[in-house]
A = this chain, B = another copy of it.
Amino acid sequence: MRKVTLSTIAEELGVSTATVSLALRDSPLVADATKERIKEAASRSGYIYNRRAASLRTSRSGIIGVVVPDIMNPFFAEILVGIEEELGSSRHTFILCNHRDKIAAQQNFIETLLQFGADGVILSPAIGTTADDIRAIESSGLPVVFVARWVKGARVPVFRGDDKKGAYMVTRHLIEMGHRKIAFIGGKRETSTGNDRREGFLAALEQAGIEAVPELRIGSERTRKAGYDAARTMFSKDREAATAIVCFNDLLAIGVMSGLRSLGIEPGRDVAVAGYDDIAEAEISAPTLTSVWNGQQEAGRLAARAMVRILTGSVSEEDAHDDRLIQPELRIRESSCPPKPV
């Protein structure tokens, strides 16, 4: 029982492999009757299309690389879901890389993609990625689109939530509730997302004429644990260090709430807390968490769609650079509260 290939079928039916190839792809060059016979024979014999062989010839592999910082982070997991859904409907498959913000890992993966003859890469670049890095990738023949994060100076379409606006919205919401001492926890200056959210935060303060106090901004990892620690650091000396906290993301915010509670401070009553991303947990944490819906899945979907468009050539150069900012939505929940009356 040797492997069934085009020529197995061709032989069996007494036609050429070219005919078989064309027939299976429904080419109008082949007579209907022949197509029938061929297709029947193919499915009967359990023929399996050999993409490696095909792509060797066509130099189109149907593989798209997806590079994200960390799939354990629901934010990126959700983006991935969006990408997967979209690619599923377009005969493309993706291979995945978690770079954990290690440039080397990212670089390594790009190399692998090239070896596989990947058609393109959807990238949430690692901290420290330069515009030159991106250019290098592109000039080696891999089209790039960004998702969630992007790199300054790289002329590449980017799909992401409007972080600055979202951060502005949630900060503004807290200000409107009467807060003046608002802290910002988490996010690294090095990531575009971190920068944008911080900017939005600062913009809201400024607009309300509130002076920004550097002590009220703590950078950190983007994990629950980091949130827990940051909250304890900030509030252990001064229980009224701030009356509200904007967190870089929900994971952090949930950690922050635990941290507060461990100090006997009740989030949503003593101190208002807000997160970002609106992950599933936000709705079910205790208290439920005010957050900003950021359209991760949508971003993934759009990025994948854009990539497919680029690959199928059904996109103008213009189109490709039409960065799509997904409009964030504020989700107000129990963790929002006015400042405690003194």
A residues contacting B by CB (< 8 A) are 46, 48-53, 55-56, 61, 63, 71-72, 74, 77-78, 80-81, 84, 93-96, 98, 111-112, 114-117, 140, 223-225, 228, 254-255, 257-258, 261, 280-281, 283-286
Contacts and interface: CB of A to CB of B under 8 A. Distances in A.
Quick one: copies of this chain in the complex? 2
Nearest to A111: B48
B56 A84 contact: no
A72 B72 contact: no
Contacts of A78: 72
Nearest to A71: B77
Contact of A115 (B46, B50, B225, B257): B50
Contacts of A257: 286
Contacts of A71: 71, 77, 80-81
Given A77-B72, A77-B77, A52 B116 contact: yes
> Interface majority SS on A: helix, strand, loop or mixed?
helix
Given A50-B115, A81-B71, A93-B116, A284 B255 contact: yes
Contact of A280 (B93, B96, B224): B224
16 contacts: A48-B111, A48-B114, A48-B115, A48-B140, A50-B56, A51-B116, A51-B117, A52-B55, A53-B56, A56-B56, A71-B80, A71-B81, A72-B77, A74-B74, A94-B95, A96-B96
